[in-house]
A = this chain, B = another copy of it.
Amino acid sequence: MAGQTSDEISDLELEAIYHFTIQLGKDAGQLLMQGLEARRSGTDPESSASEEKMNAVDIVTKTDTDVEHFIHNAIKKTYPTHAFIGEETYSKGSSKEYLVTDAPTWVVDPLDGTVNFTHAFPMFCVSIALVVKQKPVVGVVCAPMLNQLFSACRGRGAWLNETTKLPLLGKSIGPLPKNAPGKCIFSCEWGKDRRDSPVGNLHRKVNTFVNMAAEPTGRGGKGGMVHGMRSLGSATLDLAYIAAGSFDLWWEGGCWEWDVAAGICLVNEAGGLITTANPPQDWETCTIREAKLGGRLYVAIRPAFDGAEETARHSQERAVREIWRRAVSLDYSRPGV
Protein backbone atom coordinates (compact mmCIF):
# COMPACT_ATOMS: atom_id res chain seq x y z
CA MET A 1 0.00 0.00 0.00
CA ALA A 2 2.96 2.29 -0.54
CA GLY A 3 1.91 5.62 -1.92
CA GLN A 4 -1.22 5.87 0.20
CA THR A 5 -1.78 9.45 1.29
CA SER A 6 -4.49 9.04 3.92
CA ASP A 7 -3.42 9.20 7.56
CA GLU A 8 -5.43 6.06 8.26
CA ILE A 9 -3.71 2.72 8.03
CA SER A 10 -5.77 -0.44 7.74
CA ASP A 11 -5.07 -3.49 9.92
CA LEU A 12 -4.02 -5.38 6.80
CA GLU A 13 -1.52 -2.73 5.78
CA LEU A 14 -0.29 -2.50 9.35
CA GLU A 15 0.46 -6.22 9.33
CA ALA A 16 2.66 -5.77 6.26
CA ILE A 17 4.37 -2.77 7.83
CA TYR A 18 4.99 -4.79 11.01
CA HIS A 19 6.77 -7.57 9.11
CA PHE A 20 8.75 -5.00 7.13
CA THR A 21 9.84 -3.29 10.35
CA ILE A 22 10.91 -6.52 12.06
CA GLN A 23 13.09 -7.41 9.06
CA LEU A 24 14.46 -3.87 8.96
CA GLY A 25 15.31 -4.10 12.67
CA LYS A 26 17.15 -7.38 12.14
CA ASP A 27 19.08 -5.98 9.17
CA ALA A 28 20.00 -2.81 11.05
CA GLY A 29 21.05 -4.93 14.04
CA GLN A 30 23.41 -6.85 11.78
CA LEU A 31 24.90 -3.55 10.59
CA LEU A 32 25.52 -2.58 14.22
CA MET A 33 27.36 -5.86 14.76
CA GLN A 34 29.43 -5.22 11.62
CA GLY A 35 30.28 -1.76 12.98
CA LEU A 36 31.33 -3.36 16.25
CA GLU A 37 33.42 -5.95 14.43
CA ALA A 38 35.15 -3.17 12.47
CA ARG A 39 36.05 -1.49 15.77
CA ARG A 40 37.26 -4.84 17.11
CA SER A 41 39.45 -5.72 14.16
CA GLY A 42 40.59 -2.13 13.62
CA THR A 43 40.01 -2.62 9.86
CA ASP A 44 38.17 0.67 9.56
CA PRO A 45 39.86 3.48 11.51
CA GLU A 46 36.87 5.74 10.80
CA SER A 47 34.62 3.31 12.64
CA SER A 48 36.48 3.99 15.87
CA ALA A 49 36.12 7.76 15.69
CA SER A 50 33.39 9.56 17.55
CA GLU A 51 32.29 13.19 17.60
CA GLU A 52 30.94 15.18 20.49
CA LYS A 53 27.42 16.56 20.16
CA MET A 54 26.09 18.58 23.13
CA ASN A 55 29.07 17.98 25.43
CA ALA A 56 31.83 15.48 26.18
CA VAL A 57 29.35 12.76 27.19
CA ASP A 58 27.15 13.13 24.09
CA ILE A 59 28.76 11.40 21.11
CA VAL A 60 27.96 10.14 17.65
CA THR A 61 29.88 7.50 15.66
CA LYS A 62 30.08 6.66 11.98
CA THR A 63 27.89 3.64 12.72
CA ASP A 64 25.06 5.89 13.98
CA THR A 65 24.96 7.84 10.73
CA ASP A 66 25.52 4.81 8.42
CA VAL A 67 22.71 2.82 10.02
CA GLU A 68 20.34 5.77 9.92
CA HIS A 69 20.98 6.19 6.17
CA PHE A 70 20.35 2.49 5.62
CA ILE A 71 17.02 2.60 7.49
CA HIS A 72 15.93 5.86 5.85
CA ASN A 73 16.64 4.53 2.37
CA ALA A 74 14.74 1.29 2.98
CA ILE A 75 11.72 3.24 4.24
CA LYS A 76 11.83 5.77 1.38
CA LYS A 77 11.80 2.92 -1.12
CA THR A 78 8.87 1.02 0.43
CA TYR A 79 6.82 3.82 1.98
CA PRO A 80 7.76 6.94 -0.02
CA THR A 81 4.84 9.02 1.26
CA HIS A 82 5.63 8.49 4.92
CA ALA A 83 7.54 11.10 6.89
CA PHE A 84 10.84 10.26 8.59
CA ILE A 85 12.58 11.59 11.70
CA GLY A 86 15.90 10.07 12.68
CA GLU A 87 18.09 11.03 15.59
CA GLU A 88 21.18 11.83 13.57
CA THR A 89 19.59 13.83 10.75
CA TYR A 90 17.39 15.68 13.25
CA SER A 91 20.27 16.46 15.58
CA LYS A 92 22.22 18.11 12.79
CA GLY A 93 19.53 20.79 12.58
CA SER A 94 19.61 23.57 15.13
CA SER A 95 15.92 23.41 16.05
CA LYS A 96 14.78 21.18 18.84
CA GLU A 97 11.13 21.54 17.89
CA TYR A 98 8.76 18.61 17.97
CA LEU A 99 8.20 17.74 14.31
CA VAL A 100 5.93 14.71 14.39
CA THR A 101 2.60 15.53 12.69
CA ASP A 102 -0.54 13.38 12.56
CA ALA A 103 0.66 11.85 9.26
CA PRO A 104 2.36 8.44 9.29
CA THR A 105 5.90 9.17 10.51
CA TRP A 106 8.81 6.84 11.06
CA VAL A 107 10.72 7.74 14.21
CA VAL A 108 14.13 6.11 14.33
CA ASP A 109 17.13 5.90 16.59
CA PRO A 110 19.79 3.98 14.62
CA LEU A 111 21.88 3.36 17.74
CA ASP A 112 20.61 3.92 21.25
CA GLY A 113 23.33 3.40 23.87
CA THR A 114 26.19 4.74 21.74
CA VAL A 115 28.61 4.82 24.68
CA ASN A 116 27.83 1.16 25.39
CA PHE A 117 28.40 0.36 21.72
CA THR A 118 31.82 2.03 21.69
CA HIS A 119 32.75 -0.17 24.69
CA ALA A 120 31.23 -3.40 23.33
CA PHE A 121 28.86 -3.47 26.30
CA PRO A 122 25.81 -5.37 25.02
CA MET A 123 23.17 -2.81 26.08
CA PHE A 124 22.82 -1.02 22.74
CA CYS A 125 20.08 -1.30 20.15
CA VAL A 126 18.35 0.10 17.09
CA SER A 127 14.85 1.49 17.60
CA ILE A 128 12.30 1.86 14.79
CA ALA A 129 8.71 3.03 15.23
CA LEU A 130 5.84 4.04 13.01
CA VAL A 131 3.79 6.81 14.58
CA VAL A 132 0.27 7.57 13.30
CA LYS A 133 -1.80 10.41 14.76
CA GLN A 134 0.80 10.79 17.54
CA LYS A 135 0.53 7.11 18.57
CA PRO A 136 3.35 4.62 17.98
CA VAL A 137 1.52 1.75 16.24
CA VAL A 138 4.55 -0.37 15.37
CA GLY A 139 7.72 -0.61 17.45
CA VAL A 140 10.82 -2.73 16.92
CA VAL A 141 13.90 -2.71 19.15
CA CYS A 142 16.79 -4.95 18.15
CA ALA A 143 19.70 -5.48 20.57
CA PRO A 144 21.92 -7.68 18.43
CA MET A 145 24.66 -8.39 20.95
CA LEU A 146 21.98 -9.59 23.40
CA ASN A 147 20.23 -11.67 20.73
CA GLN A 148 17.05 -9.88 21.77
CA LEU A 149 14.53 -8.50 19.32
CA PHE A 150 11.53 -6.79 20.89
CA SER A 151 8.54 -6.06 18.67
CA ALA A 152 4.99 -4.83 19.00
CA CYS A 153 2.13 -3.82 16.74
CA ARG A 154 -1.19 -2.15 17.58
CA GLY A 155 -3.60 -4.87 18.71
CA ARG A 156 -1.11 -7.70 18.31
CA GLY A 157 0.72 -7.65 21.63
CA ALA A 158 4.45 -7.35 22.33
CA TRP A 159 6.99 -10.09 21.74
CA LEU A 160 10.57 -11.17 22.40
CA ASN A 161 12.26 -12.76 19.38
CA GLU A 162 8.82 -13.03 17.71
CA THR A 163 7.82 -16.08 19.74
CA THR A 164 7.71 -15.23 23.46
CA LYS A 165 4.88 -12.97 24.55
CA LEU A 166 5.65 -10.09 26.90
CA PRO A 167 5.66 -9.80 29.84
CA LEU A 168 8.11 -12.69 30.07
CA LEU A 169 6.80 -14.19 33.30
CA GLY A 170 3.16 -13.96 32.20
CA LYS A 171 0.24 -13.68 34.57
CA SER A 172 2.27 -14.90 37.54
CA ILE A 173 3.57 -11.35 38.06
CA GLY A 174 0.05 -10.20 39.05
CA PRO A 175 -0.52 -6.60 40.14
CA LEU A 176 2.33 -4.35 41.35
CA PRO A 177 3.54 -5.32 44.85
CA LYS A 178 1.38 -4.04 47.71
CA ASN A 179 4.21 -2.02 49.16
CA ALA A 180 5.56 -0.76 45.78
CA PRO A 181 8.13 0.73 45.21
CA GLY A 182 9.22 -1.94 47.72
CA LYS A 183 10.08 -5.25 45.98
CA CYS A 184 10.43 -3.38 42.66
CA ILE A 185 13.34 -2.98 40.30
CA PHE A 186 13.64 0.75 39.61
CA SER A 187 15.37 1.72 36.41
CA CYS A 188 16.86 5.18 36.04
CA GLU A 189 19.60 6.97 34.10
CA TRP A 190 22.07 9.65 35.17
CA GLY A 191 21.82 11.46 31.84
CA LYS A 192 23.95 14.08 30.14
CA ASP A 193 23.15 17.14 32.26
CA ARG A 194 26.01 17.08 34.76
CA ARG A 195 25.86 20.60 36.19
CA ASP A 196 26.75 20.62 39.88
CA SER A 197 23.93 22.96 40.86
CA PRO A 198 21.11 22.28 43.30
CA VAL A 199 18.62 23.26 40.60
CA GLY A 200 20.31 21.24 37.84
CA ASN A 201 18.88 17.93 36.69
CA LEU A 202 21.79 15.94 38.14
CA HIS A 203 20.85 16.88 41.69
CA ARG A 204 17.09 16.62 41.00
CA LYS A 205 17.67 13.09 39.75
CA VAL A 206 19.98 12.03 42.56
CA ASN A 207 17.54 13.27 45.21
CA THR A 208 14.83 11.20 43.58
CA PHE A 209 17.10 8.15 43.29
CA VAL A 210 18.01 8.32 46.99
CA ASN A 211 14.33 8.66 47.94
CA MET A 212 13.58 5.50 45.97
CA ALA A 213 16.51 3.56 47.47
CA ALA A 214 16.42 4.55 51.15
CA GLU A 215 14.85 2.59 54.01
CA PRO A 216 11.09 3.23 54.45
CA THR A 217 11.59 5.30 57.60
CA GLY A 218 14.22 7.45 55.88
CA ARG A 219 14.01 10.63 53.80
CA GLY A 220 11.19 12.07 55.89
CA GLY A 221 8.97 9.11 55.09
CA LYS A 222 9.83 9.12 51.39
CA GLY A 223 12.16 6.11 51.55
CA GLY A 224 11.08 3.62 48.88
CA MET A 225 13.37 0.64 49.70
CA VAL A 226 13.27 -0.60 46.12
CA HIS A 227 14.68 -4.06 45.55
CA GLY A 228 17.15 -2.84 42.98
CA MET A 229 18.40 0.31 41.23
CA ARG A 230 19.47 -0.25 37.61
CA SER A 231 21.13 2.03 35.04
CA LEU A 232 21.80 0.59 31.59
CA GLY A 233 22.64 3.68 29.56
CA SER A 234 19.84 3.07 27.06
CA ALA A 235 16.38 4.58 27.51
CA THR A 236 15.08 2.39 24.70
CA LEU A 237 16.17 -0.81 26.43
CA ASP A 238 14.85 0.51 29.76
CA LEU A 239 11.42 0.65 28.12
CA ALA A 240 11.84 -2.75 26.46
CA TYR A 241 12.63 -4.25 29.89
CA ILE A 242 9.60 -2.50 31.39
CA ALA A 243 7.48 -4.14 28.66
CA ALA A 244 9.14 -7.48 29.47
CA GLY A 245 8.37 -7.07 33.18
CA SER A 246 12.12 -7.32 33.88
CA PHE A 247 11.98 -3.82 35.34
CA ASP A 248 8.96 -2.68 37.36
CA LEU A 249 9.40 1.09 37.34
CA TRP A 250 11.19 3.61 35.13
CA TRP A 251 11.44 7.35 35.73
CA GLU A 252 13.34 9.57 33.31
CA GLY A 253 13.61 13.00 31.76
CA GLY A 254 15.51 14.37 28.81
CA CYS A 255 14.72 11.68 26.24
CA TRP A 256 13.69 12.55 22.71
CA GLU A 257 10.94 10.93 20.65
CA TRP A 258 13.32 8.55 18.84
CA ASP A 259 14.53 7.21 22.21
CA VAL A 260 11.03 6.23 23.29
CA ALA A 261 8.67 5.83 20.29
CA ALA A 262 9.23 2.10 19.75
CA GLY A 263 9.47 1.50 23.50
CA ILE A 264 6.10 3.18 24.12
CA CYS A 265 4.51 0.80 21.60
CA LEU A 266 6.14 -2.16 23.39
CA VAL A 267 4.96 -1.01 26.82
CA ASN A 268 1.41 -0.29 25.68
CA GLU A 269 1.01 -3.56 23.81
CA ALA A 270 2.47 -5.57 26.71
CA GLY A 271 -0.04 -4.02 29.12
CA GLY A 272 2.19 -1.45 30.81
CA LEU A 273 1.44 2.17 31.61
CA ILE A 274 3.36 5.27 30.57
CA THR A 275 2.83 8.81 31.83
CA THR A 276 4.85 11.89 32.80
CA ALA A 277 7.83 12.01 35.20
CA ASN A 278 6.98 15.31 36.88
CA PRO A 279 4.29 15.08 39.57
CA PRO A 280 1.22 17.17 38.66
CA GLN A 281 0.05 19.56 41.35
CA ASP A 282 -2.85 17.23 42.25
CA TRP A 283 -0.71 14.10 41.94
CA GLU A 284 -2.55 12.22 44.66
CA THR A 285 -5.90 12.26 42.89
CA CYS A 286 -5.44 13.44 39.30
CA THR A 287 -6.40 11.40 36.26
CA ILE A 288 -3.29 9.64 34.99
CA ARG A 289 -2.81 10.63 31.37
CA GLU A 290 -0.75 8.90 28.73
CA ALA A 291 2.69 10.45 28.18
CA LYS A 292 3.09 12.75 25.18
CA LEU A 293 5.52 11.35 22.63
CA GLY A 294 7.60 14.54 22.56
CA GLY A 295 7.15 15.46 26.21
CA ARG A 296 10.67 14.40 27.26
CA LEU A 297 9.44 13.28 30.71
CA TYR A 298 8.34 9.71 31.36
CA VAL A 299 7.26 7.30 34.04
CA ALA A 300 6.69 3.75 32.88
CA ILE A 301 5.16 0.92 34.89
CA ARG A 302 5.44 -2.74 33.95
CA PRO A 303 2.49 -4.81 32.69
CA ALA A 304 0.23 -6.06 35.47
CA PHE A 305 -2.62 -8.51 35.92
CA ASP A 306 -5.68 -8.30 38.13
CA GLY A 307 -5.19 -9.63 41.66
CA ALA A 308 -7.74 -10.86 44.18
CA GLU A 309 -8.01 -7.44 45.78
CA GLU A 310 -6.97 -4.98 43.10
CA THR A 311 -7.16 -4.53 39.34
CA ALA A 312 -4.01 -4.38 37.23
CA ARG A 313 -4.65 -0.76 36.29
CA HIS A 314 -5.32 0.31 39.87
CA SER A 315 -2.02 -1.20 41.01
CA GLN A 316 -0.18 0.56 38.19
CA GLU A 317 -1.72 3.93 39.04
CA ARG A 318 -0.83 3.38 42.70
CA ALA A 319 2.79 2.76 41.63
CA VAL A 320 2.80 5.95 39.52
CA ARG A 321 1.65 8.01 42.52
CA GLU A 322 4.26 6.37 44.75
CA ILE A 323 6.93 7.49 42.28
CA TRP A 324 5.46 11.00 42.03
CA ARG A 325 5.43 11.20 45.83
CA ARG A 326 9.21 10.71 45.80
CA ALA A 327 10.14 12.51 42.56
CA VAL A 328 11.74 15.93 42.27
CA SER A 329 10.44 17.67 39.13
CA LEU A 330 12.94 17.71 36.28
CA ASP A 331 13.75 20.70 34.14
CA TYR A 332 13.53 19.64 30.50
CA SER A 333 11.50 21.54 27.97
CA ARG A 334 11.33 22.23 24.25
CA PRO A 335 9.68 24.72 21.88
CA GLY A 336 6.01 24.05 21.35
CA VAL A 337 5.43 21.19 23.76
Identify which of A190-198, A275-283, A291-299 touches chain B: A190-198
Q: A206 CA to B228 CA in the complex, in Å? A: 15
CB of A31, distance to nearest CB on chain B (Å)? 18
Q: Report chain B residues within 8 Å CB of A59.
A: 227
A33 lies within 8 A of chain B by Cβ: no
Task: Give the interface residue-count category, chain A.
Answer: 35 or more
Copies assembled: 2
Q: Is A185 an interface residue (CB 8 A)?
A: yes
A102 to chain B, nearest CB (A): 36
Interface residues of A in 177-232 (CB under 8 A from B): 182-183, 185, 190, 194-196, 202-203, 206, 209-210, 213-215, 217-219, 223, 225-232
Of the listed stretches A64-72, A79-87, A126-134, A241-249, name the one at the interface; the rest are far from the partner chain.
A241-249
Indicate if A91 sits at the interface (CB-CB under 8 A).
no
Q: Point out the residues of chain B lying under 8 angstroms from A172, CB to CB.
A: 39-40, 42, 48
Asked whether B245 lies within 8 Å of A119 as measured between CB atoms, the reply is: yes
A residues sitting closer than 8 Å to B (CB atoms) are 39-40, 42, 48, 56-57, 59, 115-116, 119-122, 146-148, 168-172, 182-183, 185, 190, 194-196, 202-203, 206, 209-210, 213-215, 217-219, 223, 225-233, 241, 244-248
Known interface pairs A121-B244, A194-B218; 6 further A-B residue pairs with C-beta atoms within 8 A, sorted by A's residue number:
A57-B225, A119-B169, A146-B146, A190-B228, A190-B229, A195-B215
